[in-house]
Amino acid sequence: MQRSDYFSIKFINNKIVFLDQTRLPLTEHYIETSGYERIAEAIEKLEVRGAPLIGISAAYALALSVANTTNEKKADVFYKAAERLMRTRPTAVNLFWAIDEMKKVFEANKGSENIYDVLLNKAKEIHTDDIEKCRKIGENGLRVFRHKSKILTHCNTGKLATGGDGTAFNVIKTGFRNDLVEFVYADETRPLLQGLRLTSFELEKNGIPFNVQSDSSAAALMKQGKVDFVIVGADRITLNGDTANKIGTYNLAINANYHKIPFYVAAPSTTIDKKSATGDDIQIEFRNKNELTVLNGQQIAPDNYNAYSPAFDVTPAHLITGIITEKDVYSFPYNFLNE
């Protein structure tokens, strides 16, 4: 496979084709399916992950749910599929946004003989729109560079997390293309190692110089003056700018604030939850304890050990230097009510 020649999701011949991210970076394995249940499982298993990509996948899955269904059963199957997909992951707001968008289209066209085509066109529109949002986020992100920079990032926010070239990752990628990126430090991102497995994969594919480091070494890097700014993605942003992102993000924000290093969030406007006023309104997903106590299929702790394993934490808005969307770069204090 040539450099950058990979994709997270495509819709080909009435099937969803997605890259199984649990096998990366050692194996690039693509799976194809025409069933919404398989997509729901893929989201739960993190074969498909990243807030924008989850939303896109759900949109395609909802279109497929009515593909081979009789007219009288289409509504039942569609709403059953929607409910199933909504149960997969509670924190990523793009999932619920995409499902709501698909519901609006279904309800306006449910009597149509061509409801599958109508839904599919909407899913493709959501996908195409995310590609454009990613491009604009990358362009807007150039405004946060003051000089050629050493950047620290967390989790994965690239092509593997979106329909396009990424959010925070695309700020890095666009900066690199403009000779503004000297080096990238990619947090390993415990416990599922999205930084080690996925961000390193994408950095290598794009020829961007990087190191992977343990999450716990971030503060030491900052103290040594090796980080010019931190940039991360988001799974949900509230009206006041509080941001839910991969567990460990809050730690980074506190460390960056202490060391007087800018801390940026990059996300599409669809990640802003207009129904949540503050971070207290965000439901945090908790993962199975095996994600902590089992490594590569090997039990590394007694089964009777309890584990605290939230998938996300919430970073208070006052710790965020700027929030980059496809529309603008916003500064604290934030108010997204009319955005």
Token pair belonging to 224:
């040594």
Beta carbons within 10 angstroms of residue 247's beta carbon: 23
132 residue type, one letter: E
Paired sense of beta strands 322-324 and 312-315, if any? unpaired
User: Of these residues, 129, 130, 228, 235, which one is catalytic?
Assistant: 235
- Non-local CB neighbours of 125 within 8 Å, separated by 6+ positions: none
For the chain, helix, strand, coil in percent to 5 are 45, 20, 40
For residue 217 the two structure tokens come to 């070494």
Q: How far is CA 73 from CA 67, 87, 187, 216, 269, in A?
A: 11, 22, 47, 53, 35
How long, in residues, is the chain?
A: 339
Cross-strand bridge partners of residue 322: 264, 331
Q: Are 140 and 209 in contact (CB under 8 A)?
A: no
Peptide bond into 333 cis (omega under 30): yes
235 flagged as catalytic: yes
- First-to-last CA distance in the chain? 41
Which amino acids are annotated catalytic? Answer: 235
